Amino acid sequence: MLFSSITFVILFLPVTLLVYYCCPFIKAKNIILLIASLLFYAWGEPRFVLIMICSIMLNYGAGLLIGNAGFSVSKRKVSLALGVSLNVLILFYFKYLGFSEHILNSILKITHISEFQFTTAKIVLPLGISFYTFQSISYLMDVYRTPALVQKNILNLGLFISFFPQLIAGPIVRYHDINEQIKERKHRFDIFVQGVERFIIGLAKKVLIANTLAEYVDGILRLQYAWTPSVYLLLAVISGALQLYYDFSGYSDMAIGMGRMFGFHILENFDYPFISKTPTEFWRRWHISLSSWFRDYLYIPLGGNRKGFIRQIINLLIVYSLVGLWHGAEFHFIVFGLMSGAVIVLEKSFQSILNKLYGKGKAASTIRSILAHIIALSYTVCIFMFFRLNIKDGLDFYCNLLDFTRKIPLSVDLLLLADTRFSVFFACGLAFSFPWWRKLHIPINGFTTALKYALLIVLLVLSIGRLATDAYNPFLYFRF
């Protein structure tokens, strides 16, 4: 079930909220949320809810071992290694076994080592397994570092792992950020209203902007690139990056909003990444929960930047290649990750030049700032095409985009550029990817408050109307 579906918006969420607030005690509320989360997951994947339950039981047992005060440090390390390994093995089986089989078969075929070919049954990927596996690992790591955090109530741990607002698309919640909220949290009307506002904004970003851009990006990518005008291809690059941003940040906004409706404070996952001046800053602002997870649980344990520049480069490439692989078990995701890491390495290598470029001084600060934005945006917008195209198609796409000597037949349809709906939401996508309104200093009074709620109602009506009349509702991160 998608958040951006009629069933969820007008049935599942309202009913869950009603039952939740009918329960006076926090323990009862947690049980209601746990049941709702399992039902939410079983709605689209009934056979995989057992895997979710097994994951909860596995991590509950592993957490008790890791947090056992009577165990020596070595026993706790072994328990941690075993718990993390089992989580990774489950993820590997469902997400990467087929990919590994393909690689091994290709090696055997190329090297002629053997005529044997590995064959396994087609494995269906459980929804959200990447997200809840990483949350489970964060729980085990947090308990190892602070044994007092161990959760002895399996229902509370089950709620942490399966909490439906961030189950299938994040943000990746850290256990130490939310464990106290599971035990006790505030339910205030103003917080609830903030959650509703955030949910409506996220729904509008997903349904109105991302879905509209997706229609045209998909349409352009179905064309033969050699016979497609470069302006179309450039439009696909920009629209594709915007679609991915509004698709995922919209879902994150809905998750954060629903969290507030239920009294939880979920940390931000996006912070206007397209205003970044460097690739490093971009990854601090894009999918923050994933970037910070890899930083804290992999990059820093590998040594980070503490063991010399060469080791730092190796660590960065390892981390970003795994970031790419996390997104999908295909080569183009690895390329996406390695390209991201390579640009970060280049930034680190030429840091002194960049410092001069972005240096202090008022005379040329505007020019430096604009140039920095152009460099960062060019990098980020371009690599995202490899997020959705395989390597061959991606190279073909960019070769034709940069080939201005091509002769395009006059019969190529150019009506897309005159499409009003696309133009409006493309312009909105560009405009609202930058927080320009923060500088307006809008006063808070009766008129502006009424205007805000009127706009929110309009957005909600338009979003529900779009969902009711248009079956096209893709979600790029649904595969994870």
327 is catalytic: yes
Q: Max CA-CA distance within the chain? A: 78
Strands (E), 85-213: none
CA angle centred on 389, ends 44 and 314, rounded to 5°? 100
Separation between Cα atoms, residue 139 and residue 67, nearest integer Å: 11
Residues 6 or more apart in contact with residue 85 via CB below 8 angstroms: none
For residue 417, how many other CB atoms are within 10 A of its CB? 12
Burial readout 322-357 (b: 16 or more C-beta within 10 A, e: otherwise): bbbbbbbbebbbbbbbbbbbbbbbebbeeeeebeeb
Structure tokens at 453: 């709620």
Out of 327, 332, 373, 441, the active site residue is: 327
Structure tokens at 266: 């979920």
Structure tokens at 197: 């506002």
Which of 389, 401, 403, 299 shows the shortest CA–CA distance to 344?
299
Separation between Cα atoms, residue 305 and residue 313, nearest integer Å: 8
Give catalytic residue positions: 327
